[in-house]
Chain A
Amino acid sequence: MSAVGALLRKDLRLELRTRESVPAMTLFSLSAFVVFHFGLQRSSLDGDLAAGVLWVTLLLAALLGVGRLFVTEREEGGFDAIRLAPVDPSAMLVAKALTLLSFLAIVQLVAVPGFGILLLGPSLLPALPGLLAVLALADVGIAVIGTLASALAVQTRARELIVALMGLPLLVPVVLAAARATAPLFSAGGASPPPLRWLGLLGLYDLVFALVAYAVFDYLLDD
């Protein structure tokens, strides 16, 4: 597992140095909120609509970062380096998923309060505990699927397109469950806890795809 640590530190250090993904994803989220304001012609959202706008934005922002996840490895020989080292190839999967998860967390640290300020009608604070649970579960799902989609697409010619085309349908259940779970948190009458069935669905999704990803990832690195 120290290999995962080494890979994760390397990726975070690279992001810190090059600032390729996180700022773009964050700015995109904030811009999207502005666009929604004008597109929906609303200054304040609550309930279903608020949940939907937040999750669609977070999803699209995530897809921005997903496309770049493996590009450096492909261009600078990262795949070879891993395969030459006495390291389980799945370590790369775990490390990249954790990297993406970290990026999502940092972006959401800014985007969610931004949403609270710009578009959300009811107060964000009482919704926070429940929201953090939903964010955590949904982010894991996005991270796993994002890593898989990125790894699949990095060898193709139309990389960014394939990532979006593949990622969006795969992530529909996540958006579905996350939005449904978040809606009661944003209700105009006061935040109520997210229904367990949606948290359960997110958990199931995370588990299934984490297992599937772990099982297939080796084959993506093989030659």
Chain B
Amino acid sequence: MSATEPATALELDRLERRYGERVALRNVSLSLPAGSTLAVLGANGAGKTTLLRVLAGLLRPNGGTTRVLGHELPREAPSLRGHVGLLGHDLLLYQDLSASENLRFHARLHGVEPARGEELLARMGLRERANEPLRSLSRGMRQRVAVCRCVLHDPELLLLDEPLANLDPAAAEAVAPLIGPGAARIAGGEPRTRVLVSHDPAPAVAQADLVLGLRAGRAVIAAPPDALDDDEIAELYR
């Protein structure tokens, strides 16, 4: 990672991703400054999860230019590792291990102090149950552990797919400083760049600096929220 932070966190120019003959994403272009929030909206199957995985460096783009945190994908994908925090449908946690063991494992993978995992668990109010297998925790608790895992390595970019799923209001409040608007890095204190996927457009748009609307893989909306009206957004889901 270069010494200076790139000013633009995401630079996409006609990004394309295919699965064989099926096109999952086509002609997606946007530019997102560092520290801002991007809301990705669209119906099921529109390509939101695919986009997230491309930005994480997990899926290789098939066309167009993609730059994440200054790294060009797919060529520089290895340098992107460790700078992105992904929170998706898969919690990326082992159900048979405890929350502590899971976080310690991820800490070691990322070369981070294992103690930080314990700290995060304490902030989430999960310290008492940190040593039980994840299987025995409720879905909301597991989601909170996943949030800890996501920010454990202090990433510059957060990719969040329905981060507040299964969380009651108290829990949602607890995770806000870590992944909500205004979430800041431990290392430099600068705000994290966030890409937020949500099925419920209203709260996502409220936090967003830029809104991307996908329909069948194509970007039909790419504008700041004040430039949009409710009809346009509703169209996405028709």
Contact = CB atoms under 8 A, between A and B. Distances in A.
Interface residues of A, number: 25
A5 B84 CA distance: 23
Nearest to B133: A17
Interface residues of B, number: 27
A176 interface: no
Given A82-B109, A86-B110, A223-B59, A13 B81 contact: no
A220 to B, nearest CB: 14
Contact of B84 (A6, A77, A84, A223): A84
A217 to B, nearest CB: 15
Given A17-B97, A76-B90, A3 B108 contact: yes
Contacts of A81: 92, 106, 109
A14 B96 contact: yes
A223 B58 contact: yes
B96 A17 contact: yes
A84 B86 contact: yes
A87 B105 CA distance: 13
Contacts of A6: 105, 108-109
Contacts of A2: 108, 111
A10 B114 CA distance: 14
Contact of A84 (B58, B96, B133): B58
Given A6-B108, A10-B97, A17-B133, A223 B60 contact: yes
Interface string B109-120: 111000000000
B134 to A, nearest CB: 10
Interface in A185-223: 222-223
A9 B108 CA distance: 11
A158 interface: no
Contacts of B60: 222-223
B82 interface: yes
B57 interface: yes
A18 interface: yes
Across the A-B interface, the 8 shortest Cβ-Cβ residue pairs: A86-B82, A6-B108, A77-B90, A85-B109, A77-B92, A86-B81, A81-B92, A17-B96
